[in-house]
Amino acid sequence: METKSYTLDDVEPTYRPMIIDGEDAQAQSGRTFTRLSPAHEVEVTSFPHGGQEDVDRAVTAARTALDRGWRQSSGSERSKLLLKVADLVRRDAEALALAETLETGKPITQSRNEVAGTAELWEYAASLARNTQGDAHNALGRDTLAMVVHEPIGVVGMITPWNFPLLIISQKLPFALAAGNTAVIKPSESTSATTVMLGQLIREAGFPAGVVNIVTGDRVVGAAIAEHPGIDMISFTGSTGVGKGIASAAGRDLKKVELELGGKNPQIITPNADFTAAVDAGVFGGYFNVGQCCNSGSRLIVHRSMADEFAAAVVERAKHMRVGDPLKSDTLVGSLVNDAQLAVVERYVAEGRDAGAHLLTGGDRLDTGLNGRFFQPTVFTDVTARMSIATEEIFGPVLSVLPYDTMEEAIGIANSTSFGLSAGIWSNDINEALTAARDLRAGTVWVNRWMDGYPEVPFGGYGHSGIGRELGRQALAEFSELKTIQLQVGIRENRWVDAPDAPRR
């Protein structure tokens, strides 16, 4: 793994046009917008400010490419192109990682890991492209044969967030392409660079023009995609509130939706857990990407007999985390993404204090000598399950420690929010661990680990955490329609109306 650090002397502002119908494209309005690095407050990228008319162009290009042959392309053709993208991602890994860090504020080492994971997603999707299988039913009667086949849904609109821009589009796009769909993509206006760079690699790999289209801009572009009659499905990752709005807009045309939304994820720590490992995972789960992660393990549900000791150990470890310039390779935690998110974190910290939670450490901005939006790793104790810091997604480096006495109580606390994305149990008692894994209402349950992910394993949530699943072989079904084909074998002998004098052949 590359260990190089960077400075602002290595940064040159870059203009990145949209991609529509295989060509670089400007906004019809001629407008542009600029992104400043959230950690340094310097200009790093600028983009066309797209609108409704640009989405119209992109949808037309996607529909044309779909009907011009992409829908009928073989799994072998798709697989080869997807593998080529994976190779190109690895070739340009350092440029992608640097662009990701500059726009998100996350450490360069984390960005490098995400680029490596991105390449694996494209490789795995390539394997699925050659393994799209249906069913045959030959026990329906001597004169009947039925087949069930998967077909592309059509044009898929994809709207992605700012926290993991390259990784999240790669949890959607290669699987949709493997299934034979085309796409119109709107990345977050805060972090559009790596999505556009990926689009350039897709074009270089040899995908037909119009198969992948990228329109940059603000929520106007997102709304235009969600409401466009020429789009057949919406795949969205982001907040639960925005997801509800997108589902409502899509529902007016009965578009299929796949939503990966928020989380308020619990980690249950039992008395017989590996204490050191659980503490480390608690710190990692709460402060990875400054807590700006739908899988953030922000609720630590700890047995009362060890809750104080555990919280103190988390605080001690948090104090030794390197928070600062994300361009340096030894930084573990970088900057929050923008002023709005900083304000959200500050509001929740104030609510926690006002509700009577004990602020054990942190709770304020951190002065690193830069102009960024850095926040102290924060830990609350004396938290109850009804406090906002224990029920609502903060998207910041704030951990809440909630004590419990029985496993039944711990499960109840864990399941007490409207979310159900992920959960964890730390226990060396296999029966206890499996009981918790069974009873926790979450799309992913980790046992004695936290936040590991693999392309082969599906990902998604219960309740307000979303609809549908990404990744795994199940992802292909998300981007497919099922069609039943029935065949008559031999002469159809049964007549609904028999006319004796009707001519026969």
Could you list the active site residues? 260, 294
What's the Cα-to-Cα distance from 38 to each of 9, 335, 363, rounded to whole Å? 16, 6, 20
> Quick count: other Cβ atoms within 10 Å of Cβ 488?
9
Q: Is the dihedral of CA 212, 158, 423, 420 positive or negative?
A: negative
d(CA 284, CA 274): 15
Q: What is the dihedral of CA 459, 294, 285, 469, to 10 degrees?
A: 0
d(CA 165, CA 47): 15
Query: H-helix or E-strand containing 158?
Result: strand 155-159
Residue 409 amino acid letter: E
d(CA 182, CA 393): 33
Q: Which has the closest alpha carbon to 400: 445, 362, 448?
A: 362
Q: Which residues pair with 299 in a beta bridge?
A: 266, 400
Residue 208 amino acid letter: P
What's the Cα-to-Cα distance from 266 to each of 263, 414, 463, rounded to whole Å? 9, 6, 15
